[in-house]
Structure 1
Amino acid sequence: MKKATPVLLASLTLAAMLSTPAFATSPTPHVPAAEPGYEQQAASATQLLRKAVAAYREEGNAAFARFSRQGEFVDGDQYVYVVDENGYMLASGGPSAALIGRDISPLLDPELRDTFASALQQPASNDISSAEYRWMNWSDGKVERKHVFYQKVDGKTFAVGYYLPRSSEAAAKQLLDDAAAAIESDAEATVRRINRLDPEFNRDDLYVFVVDMDSMNMVAHGYSRRLLNIHFPDLKNREGLRVGQTILDALEAGQDSVTYTWPNPVTERPEEKKTLIRKVDNYLVAVGYYQEPATE
């Protein structure tokens, strides 16, 4: 399969945002919904979006050049981009600047093309809406979840988003529930799916691991094949903590979670991780989520 170019990736993910059927319209344009733990990023993104819309209303199309330069409309990994109703990229302060002046519709998958065109015809609104999709983070070169806020003005869609390299506790609990149910239904098939990185059990920085409580071996791991068949009580982190034994002790004591330091597969840095644990038949099933670094 031919690898997608950055331009094609950008256009496809933009289409995904605009074609998402379950757009979440904020109850007021001043307080858009934010995922817990990302309130500051959401506030910054919506402030930048409001600033861009205000600049457009004052200057018209002349504001687009300002949006596309490094400066007041680029804040870290947040930037403004604008698409018109015909699918042309009008401005971007980020990687999609390569698409400025181009109709991105021909670059889209045929299945997305009609939906994309329909989405661009939505009426203008004073509301700020939001959606989530996956996008290349130019600061680290990785494709990560991104939450975007957007507003339709004069037939143009203005948007600003922020990245979510860490999943929420709710998402971790949902994945654990799904994995536990699958193990209970068909353990052998589920173990194979986890080990081949089935997206059902591998979601951004969340993944499932499974321990056979008879052999005490790691039989499934949704991130590192190096850990398969390791004797779980001997598993240590980089600080030398016997993570495996700590988890087993917690399970024996009736606890449902353990916190320790472990590499984040998205950021590739050791971070504090809270792992949710559950015994299902003769298996230990676990899913961990990474904590937001403390700010001073």
Structure 2
Amino acid sequence: MPFPLRRALGLVLAISCGAALFQPLPLHAAEPARLSERWDEKRAARLLDRAVKHVQEKGEAGLADFSRQGPYVDRDLYVYAVAADGRFLASGGSSAALIGQNVNATTDAAGKPFFREMLEMAAAKGEGRVEYRWLNPADQREEPKVTLFRKVGDVIVAVGFYAPRATAAQAKSMLDEAAAMLAKDGKAALAEFQKVGGRYIQDDLYVFVVDMADGRFLAHGATPALVGRDGRELRDPKGKAVITDMISVARKKGGGELDYAWHNPTTAKLESKHTYFRAVDGKLLGVGYYTR
């Protein structure tokens, strides 16, 4: 959808992440899984620094280097350049198909004019960040993406990376930590499990707790509104009684794992989920990860 764009001087230079490859990291009290996102950001920042230095040394003449494989391509990260009037100038990645086109009318999957926001913010403040939804070529899904940018003379340099996804190892590790805390101090644990910014709510990874006696949620990191509701009433799109099935297995075996469909809080989409769960002092404790 087209949108008005303020006239501005200079070029827009951006580093785009084709797909953030989430590296499995163990969960620790002081080093939560959110470190993965920080790592993606730091890796992109290093490429950003190299691109900034290149522009400072070569000026506009150096833009062509961003369309070549080399120091300005780091696995899923690559540099692309856009003129302030919206003309796409160079790219070392999949967006090379846009070279020669005017991207002023470009919006994200939700209709957000993120190019315009980036240009206007850079003109006003010299740096910033813009968040939007974009197609991730790794799985052909529209996913949350973050772009950081910095103005260098008449050029804006930016980094884009996709929000990370949790892994099976991280889900298991969080479950172990949560179980230990729940067994030690149930009341404090329930409060901690719903603490925004805490170690038990990390992007699409979170804890939920259900009273096995009456089926009611005692905690839910992604959807606090479920607390107090009878989880046995819930069904996934295929009619699977998710909580009922978990409680049944937990009573017989003390724990297990289950596949079902559930809302992903980071992508705002219904996705396949694999959850590990166990019984702890009469409570069903679960942590799952999204398998796309």
- Asked whether the equivalents of residues 22 and 164 of structure 2 are also in contact (C-alpha less than 8 Å), the reply is no
Aligned equivalent of 2:131, options 123, 129, 136: 136
Q: Please report how far the alpha carbon of residue 269 of structure 1 lies from its aligned counterpart in structure 2 after TM superposition.
A: 1.4
Give the structure, 1 or 2, with the largest relative contact order (CA under 8 Å, sep 6 or more).
Answer: 2
| 1:240 counterpart residue number | 239
Report the 3-state secondary structure (helix = DSSP H, G, I; strand = E; otherwise coil) of the residue aligned with 2:207: strand
Distance 1:65 1:161 in 2: 13
Q: What corresponds to 1:194 in structure 2?
A: 193
Matches within 5 A, 1:113-132: none
TM-score normalised by L of structure 1: 0.53
CA RMSD after TM alignment: 4.6
More helix by share: 1
Report how many aligned residue pairs link the two structures.
Answer: 205
Shift in CA distance, 213/104, structure 1 to aligned 2, threshold 3 Å: same
What are structure 2's unaligned runs of at least 5 residues? 1-19, 25-35, 64-79, 96-113, 136-141, 149-154
Q: Which runs of 5+ in 1 are unaligned?
A: 1-32, 77-91, 108-133, 149-155
Given that residues 135 and 143 in structure 1 are in contact (C-alpha distance below 8 angstroms), is that contact kept between their aligned partners in structure 2? no
**Partner SS for 1:208:** strand
- Where do 1:64-103 residues align within 5 Å? 66=82, 69=86, 71=88, 72-73=90-91, 75=94, 95-100=117-122
Q: Against the structure 1 CA distance between its residues 197 and 255, is the aligned structure 2 distance closer, same or farther, given a 3 Å change threshold?
A: same
SS at match of 1:199: coil
After superposition, the Cα gap between the structure-2 partners of 1:285 and 1:255, relative to the gap in structure 1 and judged at 3 Å, is closer
Q: 2:81, 2:163 → 1: CA distance?
A: 28
Residue 203 of structure 1, CA deviation: 1.4
Distance 2:209 2:272 in 1: 20
Instruction: Call closer, same or farther: CA 1:282–1:263 in 2, change over 3 Å.
Output: same
For 2:221 and 2:255, locate their aligned partners in 1 and report how far apart those are by CA, in whole Å. 23
Contact 1:210/1:220, CA 8 A, preserved across alignment: yes
Query: In 2, distance between residues paired with 1:147 and 1:175?
Result: 29
SS in 1 for 2:199: helix
- Report percent identity of matched pairs: 28
Shift in alpha-carbon separation, 1:180–1:135, aligned structure 2, 3 A: farther
Work out the CA distance in 2 between the residues paired with 1:258 and 1:246: 8
